[in-house]
Structure 1
Amino acid sequence: MKRIRIRRGLAAAAVVALAAGCTAQAATTGTPEAKPSAVESGSSTPTATPGKTASATPKATPTPTPTKTTPTPAPKVVMAVGAKGAQVRELQARLRQIAWFDGVPTGTYGTVTAAAVKGFQGKRGLAVTGTTDTVTWQKLLGMTHKPTADELNGTVAGRPAGKLDARCLHGRVICISKTSRTLSWVNDGKVLSTMDVRFGSQYTPTREGTFSVDFKSRDHVSTIYHTAMPFAMFFSGGQAVHYSADFAARGYNGASHGCVNVRDRAKISALFDQVRVGDKVVVYW
């Protein structure tokens, strides 16, 4: 009787044990315990997906086709020191238009012309050689106009007038630009004449600002320096606009003591006749 009870007890325990594990077994019935995935285990090795075969050969990265570059040809020499002729004269006249060459065009490429070319090249970010190569020549052609006969002979510089300051747009104004080194005679915004000018040195600078003509003297002589100042039009103390024989002879190699020098005698003479005492004078950069 006891044996029967013991067996029945063991059978009941087996039933209880089976009931306790049925859920987990139901999820894995007939299947071995699954290994943790790569994400769960922290492994960087991906788990192969059943039914798919992973390819062991990576795709080849296409090799870029090298781009062929054509080397830029070196600039060719157009003119250099020692050259002579009409093209050199044109070079000098064009440099004179933009205030790099101050002398009279001679047609001879010397040290003065080479220095002017160097200045032009340095200002434009070109190789500073003093030799006019194809790059320098094309740059200069683009910035200047074809010289006239008077420009080639040195009678006029052909320099364009500076951009008018707003103070020059109304009334009768002697408008003087230090940037372009030009004087423009302006009436109500219209430019009637333009001429090259030179200013004082760093020790005797020409004052900038708005002034008016307070005194005119056709044959004036400086009481301080005892030099001639023909067609003088005073606008700021002892500073005046006047003709300068030194400027006509030496160009920008010299400087004034603060006055505005004009080198074209005919133009300053005509200006002197038109300007009245009280007319405005504007000096600006």
Structure 2
Amino acid sequence: MGSLGRPIAALVSAVALTVLCGCTVRPADTDGKNHPPVRAGLPTGRASGPALPESAGPADPAATDVLWSRGDAGTGVRELQARLRQVDWLFDGPTGNYDDLTERAVRGFQGRRGLPETGRTDTETWRRLLGMTHPPGRWELYLMGGQPAAAPDPRCLTGRVLCISKTSRTLRWMVDGQTLSTMAVRFGTEHTPTREGVFHVYWKSRHHVSTLYHSPMPYAMFFSGGEAVHYSYDFAARGYAGGSHGCVNVRDETAIAALFAQARTGDKVVVSW
């Protein structure tokens, strides 16, 4: 074979070998992380969000249908936020509300993967996110609170009571067995646990500052020594990533302000599991 024929034959052989082996080169994600490969169909992990057709691909018009966008709310949005937290695109929430932070996180996620940076979660964006994350558990879904309140302790069913559950991490404001408001709360750490039992509000201090830790404790309602129910800037910013020194922290300032206005010295406080 001539000198020209040998390179052509080698090229034909190489192409044939590639076809037989089925080898293709898939571009890697550009965020510097090792992610599992994204299948053309749905990932095997379950998701509570809308199901996607197995045949849908990037070129399918249905693949760009918008699932959620700013202003939406619900369990699907909460799962979206939990999954965005897993890949470090969102640090707030989950709250279940598609706010400006969620929109910004989705836009960043889309941009790093070459998707249109709309900030809206369409089916292709959701598919990519599903392929890179695991189904979030209850802890991840309710990291910042918002989970359903536990059934009230029997000791909360009479009188005026701040009924606090460590199981659901919620506070019910109850009067004569009726729940008037509910809010997410955070407790002390392993080394400074919040006491359990039946107590009473013995002092209210609207602009309180801790003399021991020199930290603000707005809307403080003291019920056991230095332990109080109060608003926490740290809880509002970091959620359950932190903890108190024994106090019951509230992250919703509007809710705690309303509770502070209604609660009286002498009202019962029940802290239970």
> Are 1:180 and 2:168 an aligned pair?
yes
- In the TM superposition, 1:45-194 aligns within 5 A as 75=44, 86=67, 90-91=75-76, 93-94=78-79, 103-105=92-94, 106=102, 130-132=133-135, 158-194=146-182
- Provide the aligned C-alpha RMSD in A: 3.7
How far does residue 163 in structure 1 lie from its aligned partner after superposition? 1.1
Distance 1:173 1:94, change over 3 A: farther
Pick aligned residue for 2:218 from 230, 236, 241? 230
Identity %: 56
Q: Deviations over 1:169-192 (max 9, x none)?
A: 000000000000000000111000
Q: What SS class does the counterpart of residue 186 from structure 1 fall into?
A: strand
User: How many residues are matched?
Assistant: 171
Tell me if structure 1 keeps the 8 A contact 2:146–2:183.
no
Tell me if structure 1 keeps the 8 A contact 2:145–2:185.
no
> Are 1:271 and 2:255 an aligned pair?
no
How far does residue 160 in structure 1 lie from its aligned partner after superposition? 1.5
Q: What SS class does the counterpart of residue 266 from structure 1 fall into?
A: helix
Tell me if structure 1 keeps the 8 A contact 2:189–2:245.
yes
Distance 1:255 1:95, change over 3 A: farther
Gapped regions of structure 1 (runs ≥ 5)? 1-73, 80-84, 111-128, 145-150
Rounded Cα–Cα distance in structure 2 between residues aligned with 1:243 and 1:282:
18
Gapped regions of structure 2 (runs ≥ 5)? 1-42, 50-65, 95-101, 109-131
> Are 1:198 and 2:186 an aligned pair?
yes
Larger Rg: 1
**Matched letter for residue 93 of structure 2:** V
**Matched letter for residue 233 of structure 1:** M
User: TM-score with structure 2 length normalisation?
Assistant: 0.54
How far does residue 104 in structure 1 lie from its aligned partner after superposition? 2.5
> Are 1:211 and 2:199 an aligned pair?
yes
- In the TM superposition, 1:24-43 aligns within 5 A as none
User: TM-score with structure 1 length normalisation?
Assistant: 0.52
**Matched letter for residue 93 of structure 1:** R
Rounded Cα–Cα distance in structure 2 between residues aligned with 1:271 and 1:206:
20
Rounded Cα–Cα distance in structure 1 between residues aligned with 2:80 and 2:213:
33
**Using CA pairs below 8 Å that are at least 6 residues apart, which structure has the higher relative contact order?**
2
How far does residue 159 in structure 1 lie from its aligned partner after superposition? 2.3
Pick aligned residue for 1:256 from 224, 228, 244? 244
Tell me if structure 1 keeps the 8 A contact 2:219–2:256.
yes
